[in-house]
Amino acid sequence: MKRAIEIADLTLKVLSCIAIVCAGGWAVWVFRLGGSTDWQDNITLETHVLPYHDDLRLLVVHAKSKNPRNSTFELNSSQHDSYQLRVRKLVPDAKSGTLFNEDEGELIASVDLLKLAGDSYEFLPNAEMDDMQTVVVPVGTTVSIMAEMKIHTGGRDRSGEPEVDSNSASAMVRIEP
């Protein structure tokens, strides 16, 4: 019986050590390798077209952002971070098969959402934000909308330029009569 107790005691000690090593490995994975201190933001765009007057319409754009992580991140203009919303008018007479880059076309509106938030925007864990802007657009226009968030990482790339992480979402809207 004494021998069985010694074996059980040794087995429990070995299993405890394995559990501690596994927990340490999990912590390294989550906080170092998995990047839990990094940022992530899911940006979506919702649009509505409302009547305004004559041949003009109001294009209402909701730039919705969600921080899906369990860590807080912050955009700060003093760190040269940015959060912009751009609306571009696409050419009406493009030929079939023409590809439009999401940042191509005549810029008709540009809004610095970070500046509107007081030059600092804090995204708490699992928080959802909704930034709404309205643009007056003529009927018959097709526009490209882009919301783009950039965070300077503090490092430099190979060419010596500030290193930037970015995230964006785009949408196309046709303004009908």
SS (H, E, C) 67-120: CCCCCCEEEEHHHCCEEEEEEEECCCCCCCCCCCCCCCCEEEEEEEHHHHCCCE
Within 13 A of 109's CA, how many CA atoms are on the CB side?
Answer: 18
Do 62 and 131 belong to one domain?
yes
Can you say how many angstroms the Cα of residue 128 is from the centroid of all Cα atoms in its chain?
Answer: 11
Nearest to 176 by CA among 57, 45, 53, 96: 57
Do 80 and 23 belong to one domain?
no
What are the tokens at 94? 């493009």
What are the tokens at 47? 């649009």
Can you say how many angstroms the Cα of residue 97 is from the centroid of all Cα atoms in its chain?
Answer: 30
Do 28 and 55 belong to one domain?
no
pLDDT, tens only, 136-155? 999 999 999 999 999 988 77
| Tally of domains in the chain | 2
Do 54 and 3 belong to one domain?
no
Do 25 and 80 belong to one domain?
no
pLDDT of residue 3: 86
| Domain limits for position 31 | 1-36
In CATH, what number is assigned to the domain containing residue 143? 2.60.40
Do 5 and 66 belong to one domain?
no
pLDDT of residue 33: 64
pLDDT, tens only, 84-110? 999 999 988 888 888 888 878 899 999
